[in-house]
Structure 1
């Protein structure tokens, strides 16, 4: 087994984001056309590439810009001094001596910015805005006043970035000073199609690669072009500081610096617990499970504020339970389920043992992890009218006993539908979809409330197609990896 680092060409330093770059360019063109300022907030979870996107845009824009990044833990005075220093060293002021060395606070700093803005378009970037709001409770008000009185009349594109999604949303909430003054861009991970193009992969390899990297640019840049997913992981197991380990590890430490109850809940879900009862037992201990009064707000915080959890509800014409929880980002999910243990082996110099662990757990993990991705692909194609039914929402269905559990359900709305339009199966393991799988599917879909045999459709998404004994005519739609990937083409 060859566990040395791969000596192959790496992916280009900037990948994807054509739509986002075009959107930013459109805003800058409007500034140039109108001669007035525009503000935009850009939010997204850590490591998704916000700063890299904006830096790329600034480099391509061919206009003067200043890029200021706040420092967590710095005082308000230190932040203002650093901002003025960055402004003085930028191409924006015609005369750098016009920028003062210090200021009494953000109102003075914004006034200094307005005084040196030229009559042609410029870009002003303030990164990690939530940290500035933490340092100075008056920051939001100072920003609003400066924008209304000084900056909005100048040809400036103001970009406000932040990784704390909840605080970034609050920045422009209706009860906050900057409400109604900025457009909002939510930056998600790269799509599976962008991942595929960046890595030079297709089909099942591209989907596996996306599950591993979660669409995070930092991992994609470390991936040698054209390298199959398991070969990439084999090489990474020789480097415990590799991006596939360090990026999710850093995200955990940034969001949960102390092993508190929220962290234990997240780790329970990352370890495979999906139901409320199982999460409570694992996070609290078998003898003292977390109470509903403790666990419910923790789950809400992890989902609505931290955005690290996703919740799946059974989709049918009747309300169903239980809801199932999962770690939203597949890279973090993989790290918590497999890669963290593999990294511990790698740190002890046991690269071969680390990779064997990955091999042993990979297929079972992938079989479950691919389901949300497939559902998203089916929904995208359906909404684009690429399926025989007017499906608007795609999910799964299960009863309280998880017997049966249907992988694919397409309906006119969610979570309680008026019509169930399709039921289906996702088989993402080594063997083709065979006669036993078809019999199980036929027995399961008729138990979905709202599914009508002969009227509702049947769909199969299979990694390795259909077995010879399965007559394709009994199924309305059959997809393989290429069809899943083409949803993002």
Structure 2
């Protein structure tokens, strides 16, 4: 299954939902499944493989963004007619209908009564943009007709916020479907696909973001520089075009939010510096406009908001970052380099990546380390640690990479730590002295607070309460099935 290393568990989950329909476990014969995930993580491909392997009649309708609702319904009916569903002959001559209610009831009419079938609506949010009434219509037809058939209805969407809202309290489809999230490939899955060591696999994860289409271009055992040198010679490489396509789908019109995303991707993290860089030459972007853009970006899960973790509330010292590692890499290094690559001068972009790699990676790895530790903890050493974050004051000096606490804001600080992700050079006595000094600035920490460290290249100092290298961090991520 090329490009789908690690998707065994997701396919198994889809088959469990299908078994639920097969065995008639519920008071309704049908089941609705809401599948969401970031663009380019392989949702459509996963469901295609599932449908092909189920050996049951099915239909897949792929929505088109901006499509007129009438034409969307006509395409939907055409997909049903050409599908493997039985009795589609009853739709002969039915080329268009005036409402989704009629189209969905036409679908129900050709679904079998005595054995299961599968119906997939891919990019449902785009269908709702074309006809907002569809949300209520889908609920009505599901309750009255579709759920009485032995059907697995899979509703797919890349607009994460909209897909979450579909099943929220007060919305028509509330409690009518089960939810499933398809995440990007984990660092462990990237390691399996690339055949790299744990340290190099984390670096590969920062570049690919775990996107299957990008990961499968990475040849087994290929180094970072070898992969980039080859990928940046090809203007059609998934490494280049995946972000362009995803952003074109996310921002067909929201140009200001797209510009703010580029500013954050360039390394700006605070509200003030983002406003200054996103505005005109002599005038920052107004707070109202920036807040609106940031809301759009956070709703779409493109931007994450971090707050300092300590015994004090950190809401006033928020920092913004691009949530997806691949998109963060693309915005930092590739977006402006595309014209050079298209002129056959990809080596210039590869050289720019190499010059900025160490500095960029040092900050980009921190969220991945925190997530890894969050998955590993609590454990026997840190039984009370439930939150792992970082800490910084408004002046950003000092910045502390790791803080472990019982909650946020913390009642008790479990540890304070540092991340040194250097190609060469261990975590040494100088790094420990710097950590011990900076730890005292964290509200809630004192001289007795345990110190920990994360290092890519080992440790040459005593006095740490715990140490974590790439191999240990990799254990936080389930190995591919």
Task: Note closer, same or farther for the CA distance 1:401–1:138 as it changes in structure 2 (3 Å cut).
Answer: closer
Structure 1: unaligned runs, 5 residues or longer: 1-10
Match of 2:413 among 409, 420, 425: 420
| 3-state SS, counterpart of residue 160 of structure 1 | strand
Match of 2:192 among 193, 197, 222: 197
User: 1 CA distance for matches of 2:196 and 2:90?
Assistant: 52
| Counterpart mapping for 1:71-220 below 5 A | 71-93=64-86, 95-100=87-92, 101-102=94-95, 103-118=97-112, 119-220=114-215
Q: Could you list the per-position Cα deviations for residues 263-299 of structure 1 after superposition, in whole angstroms to 9, with x for gaps in the alignment? A: 2211111001011110010001352112222222321
TM-score, with length taken from structure 2: 0.94
Q: Could you list the per-position Cα deviations for residues 382-438 of structure 1 after superposition, in whole angstroms to 9, with x for gaps in the alignment? A: 14x264342101000111222211101000012x11111011000012321121111
| 3-state SS, counterpart of residue 152 of structure 1 | helix
| Structure 1 residue 140, shift from structure 2 partner | 1.5
Deviates more, 1:398-407 or 1:105-114: 105-114
| 3-state SS, counterpart of residue 4 of structure 2 | coil
> 1:280: which partner in 2?
275
Determine if contact 1:342/1:355 at 8 Å carries over to the other structure: no
> 2:243: which partner in 1?
248
Determine if contact 1:342/1:358 at 8 Å carries over to the other structure: no
| 3-state SS, counterpart of residue 60 of structure 2 | strand
Match of 2:313 among 311, 314, 319: 319
> 1:39: which partner in 2?
32
User: 2 CA distance for matches of 1:98 and 1:299?
Assistant: 50
> 1:357: which partner in 2?
352
> 1:393: which partner in 2?
387
| Structure 1 residue 228, shift from structure 2 partner | 1.9
Determine if contact 1:310/1:325 at 8 Å carries over to the other structure: yes
> 1:485: which partner in 2?
474
| Structure 1 residue 176, shift from structure 2 partner | 2.5
Match of 1:268 among 263, 266, 270: 263
> 2:400: which partner in 1?
406
> 2:459: which partner in 1?
466
Determine if contact 1:125/1:159 at 8 Å carries over to the other structure: yes
Deviates more, 1:252-261 or 1:119-128: 252-261
User: 1 CA distance for matches of 2:383 and 2:167?
Assistant: 39
How many residues are matched?
Answer: 470
| 3-state SS, counterpart of residue 341 of structure 1 | coil
Determine if contact 1:307/1:328 at 8 Å carries over to the other structure: yes
> 1:17: which partner in 2?
7
Match of 1:26 among 12, 16, 24: 16
User: 1 CA distance for matches of 2:332 and 2:458?
Assistant: 28
Structure 2: unaligned runs, 5 residues or longer: none
Determine if contact 1:237/1:342 at 8 Å carries over to the other structure: no
Determine if contact 1:395/1:408 at 8 Å carries over to the other structure: yes
| 3-state SS, counterpart of residue 335 of structure 2 | helix
Task: Note closer, same or farther for the CA distance 1:259–1:442 as it changes in structure 2 (3 Å cut).
Answer: same
User: 2 CA distance for matches of 1:361 and 1:278?
Assistant: 21
| Structure 1 residue 63, shift from structure 2 partner | 1.9
| Structure 1 residue 259, shift from structure 2 partner | 7.2
Determine if contact 1:381/1:387 at 8 Å carries over to the other structure: no
RMSD after superposition = 1.7
Deviates more, 1:275-284 or 1:348-357: 348-357
Determine if contact 1:342/1:357 at 8 Å carries over to the other structure: no
| Counterpart mapping for 1:300-319 below 5 A | 300-303=295-298, 305-319=299-313
| 3-state SS, counterpart of residue 154 of structure 2 | strand
User: 1 CA distance for matches of 2:280 and 2:211?
Assistant: 33
| 3-state SS, counterpart of residue 144 of structure 1 | helix
Task: Note closer, same or farther for the CA distance 1:351–1:292 as it changes in structure 2 (3 Å cut).
Answer: closer
State yes or no: 1:450 paired with 2:473: no
Task: Note closer, same or farther for the CA distance 1:127–1:259 as it changes in structure 2 (3 Å cut).
Answer: closer
